[in-house]
Structures are given as structure tokens and as C-alpha cells.
């Protein structure tokens, strides 16, 4: 699963575009983004391996609580001085974050990790296509749809749990909602204060669900330790790496690299969970990645075209 960053594949405008790095200096931030993506997906693979011990909702609960504690301690967000609209925005942001994680982990518990991330990324891709409103994006949408058809059995793959597919698509819809309210939260709260508060909201949202599913398993020291490791790999480290990278990396480069998430997820699923890819599955993932990259490049290219002078 992708990290809940304020910049995402389908929202490159949310990323700072100042100062494209030089040819030699680009290796540092590019490496940081790759490290962030690997950390997220290997954290997700660890979470899948933890699910037999604590259940999908239990793992989500542990991850969000641990990440919220770390962010609240580091950011120490101010609770006073915010308007009702500010709090409404951060609450919706937190609900979207909690739902996105909960739905994704339910999907990853039922279908291979690479397939889950591929289906999830359709949410941001759809948002990017709708936001751009260019005819060329119909091509990228068709390419992504072809990848999904192939992934779901159109190319002889078959075997994907339809409930898992539904959860992954729901996670994608929540990811698109997350993107919208991430940008709004960033405008209303300084630094990462809004993210810390939203993470706390998401943790509180998932806590009763996690307790209902896992109960006393959530207090097992080994389970807590593994859940904290998932939080570090999937939240704390990626936030730090991306924050450092985005100071020097252009928005277009960052967004295109984020489009590689399904491939990173498939790699993590293979290395940690033994989830091998068939030729059809690999082709389907490649089609969705190509569609994401194309949509991002089209959107970035559109912003580079100057507006015509007024008459």
C-alpha cells in the first residue's frame, strides 16, 4: 500500500516543484523515494504475515496507533486556535485514512499483494484522469481498464477472490478521497500537524473494529512489536524519506516514481510471502503502471502550457 503522503501519484500539484535537481544531485532524492516505496510495500508484506496472529483489522489498528503515537510525539500539534472547518477537514482526512488502510488490509488478506495495490491505484488514477479532462487520458483509462480485466481473469488468470477485489477497489476510492482532503488539511494546518491529528482520528476509528476482531491478541507483546514494525516501515520511515526527497525532486519525477508502487508490491509479495507472478498477472500490473505514468505526464504537461493572453 502507498504511504499516506500529502503528495501522491495522482496529485503531483501537491508536491513542491521548486528547484529541479541537477543531474548528479538527483541520485539522492530518487534513492530516497525508492527506499520509501520499498519500505511501504515490505511493511505491507510484513502486515500480511502478521494477519494470522491478529487479523486484518487488528494489524491495521496496531499500525495506526503506533504511527499516531510517533507523529503526535514528534509533531506535538496545537489543539487550540483551529476553526470548526479546520477540524471537519482533518476528521474527514482521518476517516479516509483509516478506511483506506482497513479496506486495503482486508484486500491483502484475500488476494496477492501486487494485485491488491494494482487495483487500489485505480482510485488515484481515476482522480487524475477526471482532473485533467484531456482526451488523451481516455487512452490511459482504457489501458488501465485492460490491465484490470486481465488481472481479474480476462487473460486466463482467474482465481482472485471477488470480495478481495471489492475491498481493493474500495481502498482505491478512499485513497482518492484521502488525496483531496490531504491537500485541504495541508493548507489549514502547519507542517505535519494535520497529518498527526488525522492519524490519531484514523486510529480511534479502527480501534473498536480491531478490538472486536482480535480482542486480547492486540496486547500480546510479540504482536505489538510486529505491529510497531509495520508502522515504522509503512508510515514513519516513508514520511521521513519522502519529506527529504521532495525538497529537491520535481513533482513530475516523484509522481511517476510513485506509479511504480504495484511493481514494488509484487516484488515484496514474492520475496516475503512467496506470491509468484504469472505472465498474465505481470502484464496486467505493467499496463496499470504505464497508464498511471501516462496520466501523470499528461497532467504535468498540461500545466506547462501557458494560458493564452486575454483579449
Query: Residue 263: pLDDT above 90?
Result: no
* Mean pLDDT, residues 188-195: 84
What does each C-alpha distance from 53 to 115, 128, 219, 275 come to in angstroms? 23, 37, 11, 19
pLDDT of 255: 60
pLDDT of 253: 59
Query: Residue 76: pLDDT above 80?
Result: yes
pLDDT of 258: 65
* Mean pLDDT, residues 195-213: 92
pLDDT of 65: 92
* Mean pLDDT, residues 279-289: 77
* Mean pLDDT, residues 81-107: 91
- In whole angstroms, what is the distance from residue 177 CA to residue 190 CA? 21
* Out of 12-16, 25-29, 42-46, least confident range: 12-16
Region of 215 (left: φ > 0; alpha: ψ -120 to 50; beta: rest) is left
Which of residues 159 and 6 earns the better pLDDT score?
Answer: 159
Query: Residue 125: pLDDT above 90?
Result: no
Give how far the C-alpha of residue 6 lies from the chain's centroid of Cα atoms, to the nearest Å.
10
Helix, strand, coil percent content, the chain, rounded in steps of 5: 75, 0, 25
Amino acid at each position: 500500500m502507498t504511504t499516506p503522503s500529502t503528495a501522491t501519484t495522482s496529485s503531483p500539484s501537491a508536491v513542491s516543484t521548486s528547484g529541479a535537481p541537477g543531474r548528479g544531485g538527483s541520485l539522492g532524492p530518487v534513492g530516497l523515494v525508492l527506499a520509501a516505496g520499498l519500505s511501504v510495500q515490505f511493511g505491507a508484506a510484513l502486515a500480511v504475515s502478521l494477519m494470522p496472529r491478529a487479523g486484518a483489522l487488528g494489524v491495521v489498528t496496531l499500525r495506526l496507533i503506533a504511527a499516531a503515537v510517533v507523529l503526535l510525539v514528534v509533531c506535538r500539534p496545537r489543539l487550540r486556535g483551529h476553526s470548526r472547518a479546520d477540524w471537519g477537514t482533518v476528521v474527514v482526512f482521518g476517516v479516509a485514512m483509516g478506511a483506506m488502510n482497513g479496506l486495503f488490509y482486508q484486500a491483502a488478506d484475500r488476494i496477492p499483494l501486487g494485485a491488491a495495490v494494482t487495483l487500489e491505484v485505480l482510485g488515484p488514477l481515476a482522480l487524475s484522469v477526471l482532473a485533467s479532462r484531456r482526451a488523451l487520458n481516455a487512452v490511459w483509462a482504457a489501458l488501465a481498464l485492460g490491465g484490470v480485466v486481465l488481472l481479474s481473469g480476462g487473460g486466463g488468470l482467474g482465481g482472485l477472490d471477488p470480495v478481495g477485489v471489492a475491498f481493493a477497489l474500495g481502498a482505491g476510492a478512499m485513497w482518492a478521497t484521502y488525496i483531496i482532503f490531504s491537500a485541504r488539511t495541508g493548507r489549514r494546518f502547519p507542517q505535519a500537524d494535520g497529518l498527526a491529528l488525522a492519524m490519531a482520528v484514523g486510529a480511534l476509528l479502527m480501534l473498536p473494529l480491531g478490538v472486536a476482531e482480535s480482542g486480547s491478541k492486540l496486547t500480546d507483546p510479540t504482536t505489538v512489536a510486529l505491529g510497531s514494525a509495520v508502522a515504522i516501515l509503512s508510515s514513519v520511515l516513508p514520511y521521513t524519506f519522502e519529506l527529504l526527497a521532495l525538497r529537491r525532486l520535481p513533482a513530475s519525477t516523484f509522481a511517476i516514481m510513485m506509479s511504480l508502487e504495484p511493481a514494488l508490491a509484487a516484488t515484496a509479495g514474492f520475496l516475503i510471502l512467496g506470491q509468484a507472478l504469472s505472465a498474465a498477472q505481470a502484464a496486467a500490473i505493467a499496463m496499470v503502471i504505464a497508464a498511471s505514468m501516462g496520466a501523470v505526464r499528461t497532467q504535468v504537461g498540461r500545466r506547462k502550457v501557458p494560458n493564452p493572453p486575454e483579449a
